[in-house]
Structure 1
Amino acid sequence: MSDDTKSITLRLPADLLSRVDAQAARHRRSRNAELLWLLDQHVADAADHTTRDAADD
């Protein structure tokens, strides 16, 4: 693990984890890579919405 990577413990409901695993398999990614991709997409989308909302004011 590189110095800029942190490790966390994450508790997820079993059904959510199953959906993440299925999506990871479809995308040919590991569970970890899929979670990172999903989080990155969500954070980027949230930042876009925040920027747009601020511009509307």
Structure 2
Amino acid sequence: MDHELHITLKLPADLRTWLVAQGRNTSRLLNPEIPHVFEVGRGDVPEDDESP
């Protein structure tokens, strides 16, 4: 990422639980997992890419 923007994000509890579980599968914490999910959704990185 070239620029970082700090935001507050309200998530439903079940979505947060899912994101935490997904991050554990690839040794990512919640904060790096959220942008990774967005990047995968946009097609910027392969789904199984382990880089945060």
What TM-score comes out, normalization by structure 1 length? 0.65
- Write the distance in 2 (CA, Å) between the matches of 1:8 and 1:43: 20
Q: Considering only aligned residues, what root-mean-square deviation do their CA atoms show, in Å?
A: 1.8
**How far is 1:44 from its partner?**
2.4
What TM-score comes out, normalization by structure 2 length? 0.71
Mark the runs of 5 or more structure 1 residues left unpaired by the alignment.
46-57
- Give the number of aligned pairs: 43
Higher relative contact order (Cα pairs below 8 Å, separated by 6+ residues): 2
**How far is 1:33 from its partner?**
1.1
**How far is 1:4 from its partner?**
1.8
SS at match of 2:10: coil
Mark the runs of 5 or more structure 2 residues left unpaired by the alignment.
45-52
